[in-house]
Structure 1
């Protein structure tokens, strides 16, 4: 899956089409991503020791990865991603993501 945590994506299909947000979590086995502020659902939470209040909570639900596209902030549009193997001066090979249209390398803002 070419979308990673920290990437900015745009929704290209569904009820939230056109919205952009940062990827909070990637669920690789289900091929879904959780995007900040997109596909909000209402959850009814029972009171528990961890959350004595309980109540109604709005949270992001997973959205299928085919319904989102990487958002290129330079061109301000959706972009397709590919991979390119680059070799550094020591001869070490690394696989990097590239924007297929511009050929520019894409680096993600990794959350730690």
Structure 2
């Protein structure tokens, strides 16, 4: 998958078309991503001892990774991801302006989830 947690993306298809957001979680096995501010659903939560409030809560649901496209930080346009390989390091680049897409990604903020088989 060419996307990383913390990338700014734009939705291409669906009810949230042309909305911007930041990737919050990645599900590599399912090829899905959770984008903050996009694909919000309302869930009716029943009262329980652990959640005494109950009621209607809003939740971010995953979308297919093919429905989002990364935004280049230098040219501010949706772009395809290319790779530049030099000195045994692989860097993601913007295909249109050749700018680097690998901005500072905090290692502690990575929330990659994989299914256990």
**TM-score bracket relative to the smaller structure:** 0.7 to 0.9
Residue 113 of structure 2: aligned partner: none
Residue 47 of structure 1: aligned partner: 47
Residues in 2 aligned to 1:69 and 1:32: alpha-carbon distance in whole angstroms: 13
Please give the per-residue CA displacement for 1:28-56, whole angstroms capped at 9, x wherever unaligned. Answer: 11111100110110111222333211211
Q: How does 1:6-21 map to 2 (within 5 A)?
A: 6-21=6-21
- What's the C-alpha RMSD, in Å, of the aligned pairs? 1.4
62, 87, 106: which one pairs with 2:101?
Answer: 106
Please give the per-residue CA displacement for 1:34-83, whole angstroms capped at 9, x wherever unaligned. Answer: 00110110111222333211211011111111110001233221010022
Residues in 1 aligned to 2:89 and 2:44: alpha-carbon distance in whole angstroms: 45
Q: How does 1:87-98 map to 2 (within 5 A)?
A: 87=87, 93-98=88-93
Q: State the TM-score, normalized to the length of structure 2.
A: 0.84
* Long gaps (5+) in structure 2: 109-117
Does the CA contact (< 8 Å) of 2:72 and 2:99 recur in 1? no
Of Structure 1 and Structure 2, which has the larger fraction of its residues in strand? 1
Residue 3 of structure 1: aligned partner: 3
Does the CA contact (< 8 Å) of 2:34 and 2:61 recur in 1? yes
